Amino acid sequence: MDLIERIDRWGAVAPEATAHISDRKTLTYGQLRRRSDALASYLTERFGDDRSPIAVLGHREPEMLIAFLGAVKSCRPYVPLDTALPQQRIDKILATSGAALVLTPEDVRQLPESQMRCPSRGLQGDGPFYVLFTSGSTGEPKGVIITLACLEHFVTWMLAEHRFTEFGEVFLNQAPFSFDLSVMDLYCGLATGGTLFSISRDLIANPKELYRALTSSGVTTWVSTPSFAQMCLVEEKFSETMLPRVRRFLFCGETLTPQTAGLLLKRFPRAEVWNTYGPTEATVATTSIRVDAEILKQYSALPVGRTMPGSEIAIVNGNREVLPVNQRGEIIIAGPNVSPGYLARPDLTADAFFQYRGQRAYRTGDLGRFRDNLLFFEGRIDDQIKLSGYRIELGDVEANLRAMATVRDAIVLPVIKDGAAQSLAAFVLLAARDETSHFNLSYRLRNQLSERLPAYMLPRKFIFLDAFPMTPNGKVDRASLAKSL
Ligand code: AMP
């Protein structure tokens, strides 16, 4: 039974069970099955042999799940897009993905619900399941292809490690569907007949409403970025009293600090806290560790854990030679969870993907080391950063700034506090002298940039210079710019 059949089985054995809750709207497993079948039939009829991806543009609507499954049941990958993205970014992604269609929740709603079984089953293991777009260093988002086999390798591991109770779990869905962290709650939830409890961005922006929603959520498995949990912990009532059923916190995507883990263990003494690590290119997470009092006592920087069975992680030097234990180098990941590459970008694929000991492998650009048989993440080789869990290539923001007529050159750097990026700062050389105040210039640039980039990629601070400081070998001196922040 593959993952799709597994999800569909709930539609047959427990059609009234709740698959998804979002903004008080619910979707049952029966509806999910029937309506995704109907959508698959429609897509097959409309597009025949054309297996181009189906873009799905929405936020947390139940129809998003129907659209995802409808697409894959018709053997087409889906490209999840969040409505928070500016139109220009969406247009770029659509152009790269070659999507046959952009489906919105409204489109899915209008499709007649049919009892018809989907005629064309049979997505093969190596068939693309979804394509997720992430920030690319040249300003062009890159689409990571994840196959059914990649996803099944990941979900099988998660299910074995956590032994989720069938029909007994409520998974928190905090990450938008356009980020791969959401794949953890979405497919662990659907594979086990659980309920996905989505919190919309309106709720996240309104703490009072958010805590109210959490209180009534019945969440048993919390999946979020550490940043989001940190934000929730500011409220003292965020504890076992608010979420009495929570049994585990699963984190991925950025550094989990001992402070956050320690506070969670104190406020939720009956829950487990897990740190997991991995890039989108290796399907959500490849390593994991349960962080308990013992681990907290032993390590001041938390490990990201042990590698999932069937996959391999090695630490390599610049020549891709494997380094001994305890030496710092680049983390490479090999195994069935590694993506076949970037959609329509053989150049980027050849740079980042290769064969390692007979398996597909990915060069993460992350620095790390093995110690005590555990992997430790120790930063980046390049200019990719994490800001509130969002992956950002600084070069992406720079390229979009440079594309503006008023900007001659730009360097973007993270503003670091307590070892983590808090915001972005842009150093800008203007194309022509401008007497407008810096305040107004910043406002204008930020506004223009917001038409091209999502809000989390916008610099908070703009600093206007006549020239960049240079290193003795003629490169922009980023270190001295960073010091000036
Ligand atoms: P994304 O593709 O958005 O999931 O981002 C992947 C990157 O996030 C990784 O390459 C790491 O740089 C970072 N990352 C993921 N998990 C962790 C973790 N547990 N601790 C620290 N950094 C992480």
pLDDT tens, 243-294?
999 999 999 999 999 999 999 999 999 999 999 999 999 999 999 999 999 9
Indicate whether 20 belongs to any domain: yes
Atom of ligand 1 nearest to the CA of 280: 2
| Residue 73 CA, ligand 1 centroid: distance in Å | 30
Domain assignment of residue 193, yes or no:
yes
Report the side by side order of strands in the sheet with 248-251. Answer: 25-28, 18-22, 195-198, 170-173, 221-224, 248-251, 272-277, 287-290, 306-307
Is residue 378 one of the residues assigned to a domain?
no
| 280 pocket-lining for ligand 1 (C-beta < 6 Å) | yes
Q: Is 41 in the pocket of ligand 1 (CB under 6 A)?
A: no
Distance of alpha carbon 316 from alpha carbon 327, whole angstroms: 9
The CA distances from residue 459 to 178, 415, 446, in Å, are 21, 10, 7
From 350, 371, 392, give the residue that closes a domain: 371
What is the CATH classification number for the domain harbouring 294? 3.40.50.12780
Instruction: Provide the domain limits for residue 98.
Output: 3-371
Q: CB of 105 within 8 A of CB of 63? A: yes
Q: How far is the CA of 392 from the centre of ligand 1 (A)?
A: 11
Instruction: Tell me the pairing of strands 101-103 and 359-371.
Output: unpaired
Same domain assignment for residues 199 and 262 = yes
Same domain? 125 vs 268: yes
243 with 94, same domain? yes
Name the phi and psi angles at 371, rounded to 5. -150, 135
- The whole-number pLDDT of residue 475 equals 87
Q: Is 463 inside a domain boundary?
A: yes
Ligand 1 neighbour 387 (Cβ under 6 A)? no
Distance 20 CA to ligand 1 centre (A): 27
pLDDT in tens, 288-339: 999 999 999 999 999 999 999 999 999 999 999 999 999 999 999 999 999 9
Q: Would you say the CB of residue 364 lies under 6 angstroms from ligand 1?
A: yes
Same domain, 241 and 294: yes
Tell me the pTM: 0.95
Residue 399 lies in a domain: yes
Same domain, 119 and 215: yes
**Residue 74, ligand 1, Cβ within 6 A:** no
Q: Is residue 434 domain-resident?
A: yes
pLDDT band, very low/low/confident/very high, at 419 (cuts 50, 70, 90): confident
Query: Given ligand 1 and candidates 180, 254, 387, which is best to mutate, with the most ligand atoms within 8 Å of its CB?
Result: 254
294 shares its domain with 351: yes
322, 341, 371 - which closes a domain? 371
Helices 62-73 and 29-47 pack at an angle, to 10 degrees, of 50
Task: Locate the ligand 1 atom nearest the alpha carbon of residue 377 and give its number.
Answer: 21
Q: Are residues 367 and 392 in the same domain?
A: no
Both 127 and 199 in one domain: the answer is yes
- 190 and 322 together in one domain: yes
Dihedral of alpha carbons 397, 58, 27, 128, sign: negative
One domain, residues 296 and 427? no
Q: In angstroms, rounded to a whole number, what is the distance separating the alpha carbons of residues 247 and 252?
A: 17
Assess if residue 270 is contained within a domain. Answer: yes
Are residues 286 and 241 part of one domain?
A: yes
Q: Is 31 near ligand 1, meaning CB less than 6 Å away?
A: no
Reported residue count of the chain is 485
CA 66 to chain centre: 20
The total of structural domains in the chain comes to 2
| Protein residue closest via CA to atom 1 of ligand 1 | 279
CATH number of the domain within which 419 lies: 3.30.300.30
How far apart are the CA of 254 and the centre of ligand 1, in A? 5
* 255 domain residue, yes or no: yes
Q: What is the pLDDT of residue 345?
A: 97
With a 6 A CB cut-off, is 142 part of the ligand 1 pocket?
no
Among residues 345, 371, 397, the one where a domain terminates is 371
Backbone angles phi, psi at 231, to 5 degrees: -65, -45
Write out pLDDT tens, residues 75-128: 999 999 999 999 999 999 999 999 999 999 999 999 877 655 555 567 898 999
- Residue pLDDT, tens place only, 368-412: 999 999 999 999 999 999 999 999 999 999 999 999 999 999 999
Residue whose CA lies nearest to ligand 1 atom number 5: 279
Say if residue 278 is in the same domain as residue 390. Answer: no
Q: Is the dihedral of CA 293, 294, 300, 304 positive or negative?
A: negative
